[in-house]
Amino acid sequence: MNAESRALLAKGRRAIQAAKTLLRDGDSDFAVSRAYYAMFYVAEALLLTKGLRFQRHGSVHAAFGEHFVKAGLLDQKFHRWLLDAFDQRIIGDYGVASDLTAEDAAQVIGHGEEFITTGFQYLEHAD
């Protein structure tokens, strides 16, 4: 695994820890946001193995789906979780009156943790 991918995974782990802290403190909106970013960083780390870099979230989402899910390298649930978390992040970050609950945040955090574990396992064996 290259240094940049390793750094992105570490950033993803920090984002999940921040999400857990935010959830514990009762801030579901921002917990969802941090959990989304954890998944986003993992997707970026994985795409680096293909020599791919993108500036926009939508481009990362599409390339992750194409190069990892459609290619059969990872389960489609990871792409779905990434897209759903993105939608929830938008609500949490930009909505004035968000209806994201602690349960919503806990679910996205759980998905983020599995995303990180799977991404790390993939990257460990990609070398």
Give dist(CA 72, CA 67) in Å, integer.
8
Structure tokens at 55: 């500036």
Write down the CATH number for the domain with range 3-124.
Answer: 1.20.120.330
- Asked whether the predicted pLDDT for residue 88 surpasses 80, the reply is yes
The per-residue pLDDT for 70 is: 95
CA distances from 12 to 63, 96, 98, 102, 105 (A): 19, 26, 24, 20, 16
Q: Give yes or no for residue 18 having a pLDDT over 70.
A: yes
Q: What is the pLDDT of residues 103-122, one digit of tens each?
A: 999 999 999 999 999 999 99
* Chain centroid to CA 13: 10
The secondary structure of 52-94 as a DSSP string is: ---SSHHHHHHHHIIIIITTTSS-HHHHHHHHHHHHHHHHHHH
Q: Where are the domains of the chain?
A: 3-124
Q: What is the mean pLDDT of the chain?
A: 92
Quick: pLDDT tens for 29-68.
999 999 999 999 999 999 999 999 998 999 999 999 999 9
